[in-house]
Amino acid sequence: MKKNHTLRLTLAAALCAVAVVGSMLSFPVFGSKCAPVQHVVNVLCAVLLGPWYGVAVAFAASLIRNLLGLGSLLAFPGSMCGALLCGIVYHKCIKVIPTAVAEILGTGIIGGLLAYPIAIAFMGVSAAKVAFYAYIIPFLISTTAGSVLAVVIVLALQRAGALSKIQSRL
C-alpha cells in the first residue's frame, strides 16, 4: 500500500506545532528549560511517522522555539537524539514501553551529554563551572514526564482502536 505522504507531512507539521506551543509549558531545572510536551511529540512521531519524520519534527520544533525565544540551543541535541532513538526502537519492536524508555535514554543520557559541548561552545558556559554530565538530570526529569504522558496517550489510543486506524491511513 502506498503511503500518503501529504497526510504524513500534515501530521508532522501539526505535531511540530504542538511541540512549539507546548514549550510554553516549560519549567526551569538547573539552568535548562524542561519542556515535556516535546517528548510526548517524539514518542507520537515514533509511533505514527517513524524515526526520520521524528528527527525532522524535533529539529523544526527546536528551531522555531529558538527563533521565538521559547527555547535554548540545548533543545537540539536532546530532542533530536531522543526522537531518533525512540523511532528506531519502535520500528524494530512495535511496543510503546520500550519506545518511551528509548526516548528517555536518547534525550536524557545521550542528549544530556551532547548538550555539554554545545553549552561550552555556543552559550558561553564555562567548562570549569559545569560538569560534563550536568545536563543529564534536567533532561531526564523532562523526558521522563513527557514519556510517561506519551505512553498514557498511546495506550488510550490503542484501547479505543484509533491507533491502528491512524497508522493504516499513514
Quick one: pLDDT at residue 1? 47
pLDDT digits (tens, 9 = 90+) for 67-113: 998 878 888 888 999 999 999 999 999 999 999 999 999 998 999 88
pTM of the model: 0.89
Question: Which residue would you say has higher pLDDT here, 13 or 71?
Answer: 13
How many beta carbons lie within 10 A of that of residue 78, not counting itself?
32
Quick one: pLDDT at residue 18? 96
Residue the block writes with cell 519502535: 90
Which stretches within the chain are classed as H helix? 5-22, 36-48, 51-67, 75-93, 96-103, 112-122, 136-160, 162-169
Question: Which residue would you say has higher pLDDT here, 4 or 12?
Answer: 12
Quick one: pLDDT at residue 123? 77
